[in-house]
Amino acid sequence: MTKRIRKAVFPVAGLGTRFLPATKAQPKEMLPIIDKPLIQFAVEEALAAGITHLILVIGRTKRAIADHFDANPELDLLLRSKGRSDMADYLANIVPKGACTIYLRQAEALGLGHAVACAAPLVDPDEHFAVLLADDLMDGERPILAQMVDSWADNPRSLLAVEEVAADAVSSYGIVDCEAPEPGASLPIRGIVEKPSPEDAPSRLAVVGRYILDGAIMEKLQNTAPGRGGEIQLTDAILQLSHEKQVDAFRFRGRRYDCGSKIGYIEATLDFSVRHPEIGTEARRLIARACKDQ
């Protein structure tokens, strides 16, 4: 039987403080790019890669995420009564019937590593699973996670999506010690450092929000002491895992938008607006006018 990656973990319990006050009552993952929330982009990417079990690790303020993926009979009836059956069908199949959505509660915000570890009861030690960070919006001709799954299928091992960042930006990322792979290829890492100074960074290859991880990392996470910022760092557990099993840096083909930052969010909104089938032409006109007026 062909091995597959069936499970994906979405750590979506963060408070999104960089977008306050907009995120005081609304999850940052529900911020829309035109007419689709960030979390839906990530879920659709996972589904396109063959994922069938969507594990969302939420916090107490994230009910809107569960509501978004739940059925809404009243809205469905309203849309169909107004002749919008196409939209009703689309909403009814945001999560196809062949997939299941599982919600877990992260009681305390103890870091990305802790959020991933919350899914440990659902991940077998001998299986690989994906992790997707919704505020990294990934855009490629072929979905980025699907690219990673294709590479994984040829040689099952842990994969970290990486991109090259500016030297003055390395202190915002986990940075791998690795030669730079060609786009669409991967190379084994020698190490990984969380948010190093530019002088101490082993490279400029930053780990961004897509991972395929060996299930053995769950034990590493449960035994990882809090690191930088008093949080359990996923980076620390990945480093431990790399001492025992192969971990590769994967250079994806496509573009990443850092929608956890205001500028990245604006950039994604502008780029997606000019490509939008309904508003693209008008969006280009408005953007050109705004630039001219300045």
State the DSSP H helix or E strand holding residue 208, giving kind and residue range, or none if neither: strand 205-214
pLDDT digit string (tens) for 39-59?
999 999 999 999 999 999 988
Does residue 138 surpass a pLDDT of 80? yes
Instruction: Spell out the domain ranges in the chain.
Output: 7-257, 261-294
State in Å, rounded, how far the first CA of the chain is from the last one: 60
Using CA atoms, how far apart are residues 191 and 243, in angstroms rounded to an integer?
9
CATH 3.30.70.260 is held by the domain 7-257:
no
Does residue 203 surpass a pLDDT of 50? yes
Half-sphere exposure of 135 (CA within 13 A, CB side): 23
Q: In this predicted model, which residue has the larger pLDDT, 192 or 229?
A: 192
State the DSSP H helix or E strand holding residue 105, giving kind and residue range, or none if neither: strand 100-105
pLDDT digit string (tens) for 166-198?
999 999 999 999 998 999 999 999 999 999 999
Using CA atoms, how far apart are residues 284 and 273, in angstroms rounded to an integer?
8
**What pTM did the predictor assign?**
0.92
Say which range, 117-126, 223-232, 252-261, has the weakest mean pLDDT.
Answer: 223-232
Q: Could you give the angle at which helices 73-81 and 85-92 cross, rounded to 10 degrees?
A: 160
Using CA atoms, how far apart are residues 257 and 99, in angstroms rounded to an integer?
27
